[in-house]
Amino acid sequence: MITQNAPALIPVLYLISSMLIPMIGYFRSGASFYIALLTSVAVFGVSIMGLQEVMANGSISYHLGGWMPPLGIELVLDPLSAFISVIITASALMVMIYAHSNVRQEIPGSSMGFYSLSMLFMGGLAGMAITGDFFNLFVFLEISALASYGLLAIGTRRGPVSAFRYLVLGTAGAIFYLMGVAFIIIATGSLNMADVAKILPYAEYQRPVIVGLVLILVGIIIKMGVFPIHHWLPDAYSDASSTATALIAPIGTKVAAYILIRVMTIYEFPPLLDVMTWMAGLSIVAGSILAIAQTNIKRMLAYSSVANIGYIVLGVTLANPLAFIGAMLHILNHALMKLVLFMSAGGMLHSVGSVSISRMRGFPTVMPWTALAFFIAALSMVGIPPTGGFFSKVYLIMGAIEAEAWIFVAIIILSTLLAFVYLFRMINIAFFRPYEKSDDKKVIQSEELVLETPVETKDESKKEFESMPRKEMGLLMLLPVLIGSVIIILVGIYNGWIIDNMITNAIPDILKLNP
């Protein structure tokens, strides 16, 4: 019963929770966390059951109100959407566990709003992954976008400004997407994705189809943060609270990548694939170079996300099974890597009071478990075996070789070397430079968010602020970080099983037919 209703339960449980949190939290503010956590556990369980059912018996379709597609609204769990759903719900669960202590420290007055927006955001993402038609994809896209604007605004003083910039670009992306959908319905008379895929090759007017696909892809590119439309991403990620960044960064852009996969495999148009492939290559190189120049850990990780989004787009647009496997594996690996890295950065902020790379001196001494998890995720980001990141890059390189796209083989290798530079610069500071505490400095002047505790001075009319003492994260913050780092290694070890049982079945038919 649950598995057959899984396509509806996954987004609906999140959306119901987003409404319950402010209703109950108004009377009992402490209940917000527990509602969000219980919802995350329940939805993760449903998504696992759905994935098992899909692996055993094939796709699950749910028709709202009993109306059959293409007229009715269809929610679908197929091998691709079930795989993405598990990534989304697992990431949300780990962040909710992590959030309990972190939210109280960084945004103590906005915890109820944070948890409500988080559930709304997750409901939007889950709906995007499962919906079977273009219009409801737009609806869920906007639900997640509106929630993400609110989440990103809760943080530093600059958070609202960065969120507003993202809102402007996000609105532009939504307009492009909706215009593209209008052209698709003009050409086909349908919004159901499966129906559109059957009609498009035989549509009487192909020009509206091409225009529609271009507009949809422009909208998705803006949402993904692909170079050169990436400027909103570093500001938004670095100015938001650590928990908001840990929630949005690992999965927000990945669901946009999932939409890209759906759209690009509905209709084959080689010139568009070529343009997207080169944009992916530029994104990989530019993101890696810009990451080297950063002194703020969160900004550096944000620019590395630009590069890693490029990897995923490249895997899709090379349009062969090996590259697609690399893209799907990288969606999983990058979600795990960014989850661990951003949560570790949040732990550093929680303990040290800053996310400046220069403040990482002696990091392993005072936060050994966090440093270990950070190190494992960094190894995966570079692509060092046996971590998962190594194998996704190997498949991407194999896909580029199969496509005889030698320039992109070189780009992947170059980006790997650049990732080694910017990540091991941090590791060098953290592991090989001792922490030097200055007793006479009680105020940390920093452009980042600083956790502060008031300290009385000789002049009672004035207050200085002292950063939080250096110490390891609490258990609830540390637990998901360690679990994520272990999964990174397990994904590397069991990558063959994941590919054979989950990803291979998700390869679109249009790619299997390509020579």
pLDDT at residue number 509: 66
pTM score, whole prediction: 0.85
Contact of 327 with 396, CB cutoff 8 Å:
yes
Count helices and strands in the chain by DSSP H and E runs: 20, 4
pLDDT at residue number 353: 64
Residues of the chain with pLDDT under 50: 438-469, 515
pLDDT at residue number 490: 93
pLDDT at residue number 203: 65
pLDDT at residue number 165: 82
Q: pLDDT tens across 376-399, in order?
A: 998 888 888 888 889 999 999 999
Instruction: Collapse the DSSP code of 304 into the 3-class scheme (helix H, G, I; strand E, B; otherwise coil) and give the result.
Output: helix
Placement of tokens 């091409």 in the chain: 210
Q: pLDDT tens across 309-337, in order?
A: 889 989 888 878 888 899 999 999 999 99
Helices 79-106 and 31-57: crossing angle, nearest 10°?
170
Q: pLDDT tens across 67-80, in order?
A: 777 677 888 888 88
Supply the mean pLDDT for the chain.
80
pLDDT at residue number 15: 92
Contact of 385 with 416, CB cutoff 8 Å:
no
Q: Which residues of 346-375 are buried (b: 16+ CB within 10 A; e: fewer)?
A: bbbbbbbbbbbbebbbbbbebbebbbebbb
Which amino acid would we find at residue 313?
V
pLDDT at residue number 467: 37
